[in-house]
Amino acid sequence: MAARKMRNRAAVELVLEGGQAGEKLNVAGSRIQEGGSKNTEKIHGAGTTVDQTLCAVSSLAARQYHFIYERKTWADAQSYCREKYTDLVTVDSLDVATILNRKVDLTQMGSARDVRAWIGLFEDIQGWKWSLVNNAFYQGFVTQYRNWGSGQPDNFGSNEPCTEMNSRGEWNDIPCEVTRKPICLTVNGQTAGFVAIQSFMTWTQAQSYCRANYTDLASVRNSAENSNVLAVKPSGESNWLGLYRDTWKWSDGDRYQFSFWSAGQPDGSTEYCATAYFSDSGRWRNWLCGYTKPFICHHDPVPFTKHVMKIKLVRNSTVDLNDAAVQSDLMNRLKQKLQENRVQGNFSLSWRKQVDGKIFYTEQQED
C-alpha cells in the first residue's frame, strides 16, 4: 500500500478588474491546482491549470470570433451577425488576421478556389458629403443637391472618392491624388461666393488652401449656384468641388486604419464589399456584395467590472508564496496571459488580501 503523503495546498483569491461599467460577473470558485514543481514557474498537475482558468476568465471579456459557413450576401451576413452576435468581423490588426487564419475550417468553405468569407469591411459608396460643415449655411436638406454627369459617379478603378466639375458644369468622381485647380467658397451668412484658383493641386491640398484663404472648397446647394460656379471656373477645364466621401469602413464603425489587401486589390469599380481570402493568409479581396459567401462575426461579451477567482496552488516544495518576489513573478505571468488572450480595454489584476493581511493561506489536506 502506497504511503499517503501530505500536500501543502495554498489558496489565493485573484481579483480581475476592468472593462466598462456594466454587469458584474463573479467567477469565484474557479480552481487551479498547481503542483509538482519547485517554484511557480511550472504549472502542471491534475485538474484545472492556471492557464486554463485564465483563458476561461479572459474569454468572458475578450472578443470572440465565429465562422458561419452558411452562404449569405454581405448585407444578409451583416444582419445575421448583428442579430446573433455583435457585428460582421473587424480585422484591425495582424493579431486578428492570425486568429482568423487559425480558426477557419477550410473543409467547410467550398471549392479550393473560393475559400473566402465576408468580413465587415465595405466601401461607403453613398456617403458623399461636403468639405464645409455648417448647418446654418445649408439649412436642412440642401446638402443633397447633386449634378452628376451621365453614368457618374462610377468609382472607376475602385478609387474615386473626390469630385470635379467638368466644363459643362457636370460632376464626376475621380481619384483625389490627381491635380486640378480648385474652386474655393466664401460664405457670408447665407450667401455663397465662388473663386477660381489658378494653380493645380491634389484635392487635399485644395481643401487646405481654400480653408486657409477663403471659407472652404466649393459647396453647391442648388442649380443656381452650380451655374455660378460654372461662370467663374476656367473654361475647358475640370475643377475641384468640395464633395468627397470616405472609402472603406468597418461595419461596427471602427476606423479603417489597418490594411491587409491582397496584391492588386481593391479592384473592380462595383466591388464594394470585402472578403478574407484564406488561400492568401486571409488577405482581403473586394467582391460584389450580392454574392453569397460564408462570413465571420465577432462577439463582444458583456463588459464586466470585477471577477474574483479563487486559485488553489498545490505544491510539494517549500517555496514561500508570501514572498514578495514569488508573488510578483506569478502576477506578471498572469498578466501576460491575459494580454495573450487579448483582454480588451483597461484592466487591473490584484491579489485579494485575507483578514490577516496575508495573500496566500495554506490548507492542510490529504490526497
Window contacting Ca ion (CB under 5 A); options: 36-44, 156-164, 240-248, 335-343? 156-164
Window contacting Ca ion (CB under 5 A); options: 58-66, 95-103, 260-268, 346-354? 260-268
36 interacts with Ca ion by CB under 5 A? no
**Residues in 196-235 at the binding interface with Ca ion, rule: CB under 5 A:** none
Q: How far is the CB of 184 from Ca ion (least distance, A)?
A: 23
Window contacting Ca ion (CB under 5 A); options: 158-166, 177-185, 213-221, 249-257? 158-166
Window contacting Ca ion (CB under 5 A); options: 179-187, 256-264, 281-289, 308-316? 281-289
Q: How far is the CB of 114 from Ca ion (least distance, A)?
A: 13
133, three cell numbers: 460643415
Binder among 17, 76, 154, 237 for Ca ion (CB under 5 A): 154
267 interacts with Ca ion by CB under 5 A? yes
262 interacts with Ca ion by CB under 5 A? no
Q: How far is the CB of 17 from Ca ion (least distance, A)?
A: 45
**Residues in 112-141 at the binding interface with Ca ion, rule: CB under 5 A:** none
Q: How far is the CB of 22 from Ca ion (least distance, A)?
A: 40
286 interacts with Ca ion by CB under 5 A? yes
Q: Are strands 129-130 and 347-352 parallel, antiparallel or unpaired?
A: unpaired
Window contacting Ca ion (CB under 5 A); options: 19-27, 31-39, 93-101, 286-294? 286-294
| 32 vs 117, beta carbon nearer Ca ion | 117
173 interacts with Ca ion by CB under 5 A? yes
268 interacts with Ca ion by CB under 5 A? yes
| 283 vs 307, beta carbon nearer Ca ion | 283
271 interacts with Ca ion by CB under 5 A? yes
Q: How far is the CB of 164 from Ca ion (least distance, A)?
A: 9
Q: How far is the CB of 161 from Ca ion (least distance, A)?
A: 10
Asked if 265 and 272 count as a contact pair (C-beta separation under 8 A), the reply is: no
Q: How far is the CB of 247 from Ca ion (least distance, A)?
A: 14
HEC-encoded secondary structure of the chain: CCCCCEEEEEEEEEEEEECCCCCCCCCCCCCCCCECCCCCCCCECCCCCHHHHHHHHHHCCCCEEEEEEEEECHHHHHHHHHHHCCEECCCCCHHHHHHHHHHCCHHHCCCHHHCEEEEEEEECCCCCEECCCCHHHHCCCHHHCCCECCCCCCCHHHCCCEEEECCCCCEEEECCCCCEEEEEEEEECCEEEEEECCCCECHHHHHHHHHHHCCEECCCCCHHHHHHHHHHCCCCCCEEEEEECCCEEECCCCCCCCCCECCCCCCCCCCCEEEEEHHHCCEEEEECCCCCEEEEEEECCCCCCEEEEEEEEEECCCCCCCCHHHHHHHHHHHHHHHHHCCCCCCEEEEEECCCCCCCCEEEEEEC
Q: How far is the CB of 202 from Ca ion (least distance, A)?
A: 16
* Residue 176 to residue 48: CA distance in whole angstroms: 57
Task: Tell me which residues touch Ca ion (CB under 5 A).
Answer: 154, 156, 160, 172-173, 267-268, 271, 285-286
